[in-house]
């Protein structure tokens, strides 16, 4: 509890604009350490991404990225409603989201996938959304349009889907993810029809 309060205090003391990243970790004694030097050790996590960012409270806005979504969806031939449904499930429209496993940004792209897709800045909405849509297109081609397999591969990785004989892996998180995205997809499509 003290660590959380200390983290909030640090954020309140930061200037409105931050130049360079802030990294942190909690040691064995429960002490929180911060640095603005890019760390070598894996125990550090990004507190503030390494770029000029405005530190503002996060409030989800489901329509904020529509123009970027539509732009890249038309380029890669992916339904923008599906992209938005994945984004809602992955980050709830938070461009600075980071999972415990290291997935980053709006579309929660893993670092290895970001390298594969040549994403320069996973926290840039433009780069992240384009990368996520390119990845959905790639998975759509690999799994021949089977939405359940595309979503399973997006969540658990294509290798896992292939290892399970082109079926959804028996991973509860993946099955829940598929249900959540499909429900989001249905709602988003319905709201845009009306």
**Mean pLDDT (whole number) for 50-72:** 71
Range of weakest confidence among 33-47, 99-113, 121-135: 33-47
Domains of the chain: 2-54 (no CATH), 66-193 (1.10.530.10)
Residues 137 and 77 sit within 8 Å (Cβ to Cβ): yes
Closest CA to 67 of 85, 82, 56, 80: 80
Cα distance between residue 154 and residue 174, in whole Å: 9
Residue 25 has pLDDT above 70, yes or no: no
Rg (alpha carbons) of the chain, rounded to whole number: 18
Gap between the terminal Cα atoms of the chain? 45
Determine the 3-state secondary structure of 137 from DSSP: helix
Split at pLDDT 50, 70, 90, the class of 30 is: confident
Confirm whether 112 is a catalytic residue: no
**Mean pLDDT (whole number) for 42-59:** 54
Residue 3 has pLDDT above 70, yes or no: no
Cα distance between residue 152 and residue 75, in whole Å: 23
Question: Residue 123, Cβ neighbours under 10 Å: how many?
Answer: 21
pLDDT at 137: 97
**Mean pLDDT (whole number) for 46-70:** 68
pLDDT at 131: 97
Residue 68 has pLDDT above 50, yes or no: yes
Given the residues 59, 90, 141, 172, the one annotated as active site: 90
**Mean pLDDT (whole number) for 40-50:** 61
pTM: 0.69
Range of weakest confidence among 5-14, 66-75, 102-111, 180-189: 5-14
Which tens digit of pLDDT belongs to each residue from 125-161?
999 999 999 999 999 999 999 999 999 999 999 999 9
* Average pLDDT for the chain: 82
């Amino acid at each position: 509890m003290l660590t959380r309060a200390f983290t909030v205090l640090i954020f309140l003391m930061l200037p409105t604009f931050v130049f360079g990243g802030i990294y942190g970790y909690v040691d064995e004694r429960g002490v929180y350490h911060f640095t603005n030097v890019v760390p070598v050790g894996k125990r550090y996590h990004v507190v503030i991404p390494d770029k000029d960012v405005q530190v503002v409270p996060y409030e989800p806005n489901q329509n904020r990225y529509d123009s970027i979504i539509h732009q890249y969806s038309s380029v890669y031939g992916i339904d923008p409603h599906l992209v938005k449904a994945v984004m809602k499930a992955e980050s709830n429209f938070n461009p600075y989201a980071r999972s415990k496993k290291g997935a980053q940004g709006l579309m929660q792209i893993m670092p290895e996938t970001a390298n594969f897709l040549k994403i320069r800045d996973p926290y840039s909405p433009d780069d992240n959304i384009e990368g996520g849509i390119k990845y959905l297109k790639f998975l759509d081609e690999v799994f021949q349009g089977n939405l359940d397999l595309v979503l399973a591969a997006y969540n658990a990785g294509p290798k896992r889907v292939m290892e399970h004989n082109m079926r959804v892996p028996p991973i509860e998180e993946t099955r829940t993810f598929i249900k959540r995205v499909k429900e989001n997809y249905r709602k988003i499509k319905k709201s845009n029809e009306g």
